[in-house]
Amino acid sequence: MTDIADRPEIAPELRLVPHAFRRTFGRPAEGVWYAPGVLNLLGGAVKVPAKWGAIVAGDRRDDGRLELVSVNRPTERALLPSDDVPAWASGVDATGGAALMCSVDLPRGSGLSASEALRTAVALALADLAGERIDELAAEALDLPGQRLLVVDTRVRRPEPQPERPYTPGSGDLGAELTAYHRAQNPDPEQDAVVRAALAAGARGASMLVDPPGRPAVALVDADLVPAVRKAVTKAVEIPPRYLTIVPGPFKPAALR
């Protein structure tokens, strides 16, 4: 059987990770698993998948330990369970034996729950390797013609958790709900500056996002206004943000063997 890393019909980004696994461990990966990053709107009441996410490749271990290696940080290995876990692997549950090479193309705290994507991809891998059923990610199929979700990574990172106040959606208008959610919270000044600038530039709604250790935000924007909103937000903050523009689509977790 051809090694997944050498199968030309597979997307290059999916072949990269098993190739790194083979180079590191000296054997082919048994499978590849993907989970999208998730935009948790309104405190997680609405979950929107993105095309950026986490990919893991690997095989089973017989000792019940979970070994994680990062494509971007190959010297920071995690062998779980352990009290000494690199920051990029924090929160991953050690529920089965496997060696996994991990690639996450989202910075932690950028707004798309990179940690959640990695946890989901690892859980998919462990379930599949154990022959168990793989549950699909619950995500919203939003009907937003001509609109975009503009994710703003303020690049601000703080060690302390960001409290989140309970919020119950009501109006059904996503833009109005985002703004109402933001006003019900206690945002950082950077998040508040982003929201105020986005609304002043014509966004339909905007709010802070909870994605530790970051302090990101999101705005619902008409497609033709995205450049103007980005420009207004950049002028309103001290540190130039990073932006991701999302067109909600049917991105789902996937397994490849």
Domains along the sequence of the chain with CATH: 4-138+249-256 (3.30.230.10), 147-246 (3.30.70.890)
Among 149, 115, 137, 98, smallest CA distance to 252 is for 137
Q: What's residue 179's pLDDT?
A: 97
pLDDT by residue (tens digit) across 124-160?
999 999 888 766 555 556 778 899 999 999 999 999 9
**Residue 105: how many CA atoms within 13 Å on its side-chain side?**
14
Among 119, 117, 65, 68, smallest CA distance to 92 is for 119
Is the model's pLDDT at 1 over the cut of 60?
Answer: no
Q: Which two tokens stand for residue 6?
A: 């050498």
- Is residue 38 a contact partner of residue 117, using CB atoms and an 8 Å limit? yes
Which of 8-17, 35-44, 111-120, 193-202: highest mean pLDDT? 193-202
Q: Which residue did the predictor score with more confidence, 248 or 86?
A: 86
pLDDT by residue (tens digit) across 62-92?
888 999 999 988 788 888 888 888 888 888 8
Q: What's residue 210's pLDDT?
A: 95
- b/e burial code for range 129-151 (CB count within 10 A of at least 16 → b): beeeeeeebebeebebeebbbbb
pLDDT by residue (tens digit) across 218-230?
999 999 999 999 9
Query: Where does the pLDDT of residue 240 fall: very low under 50, low under 70, confident under 90, or very high at 90 and above?
Result: very high
What mean pLDDT is predicted for residues 45-60?
Answer: 90
pLDDT by residue (tens digit) across 151-184?
999 999 999 999 899 888 877 789 999 999 999 9
**Residue 2: how many CA atoms within 13 Å on its side-chain side?**
9
What mean pLDDT is predicted for residues 230-252?
Answer: 86
Q: Which two tokens stand for residue 47?
A: 């979950």
Q: Are strands 98-104 and 66-70 parallel, antiparallel or unpaired?
A: parallel
Is the model's pLDDT at 196 over the cut of 70?
Answer: yes
Q: Which two tokens stand for residue 34?
A: 């993907």
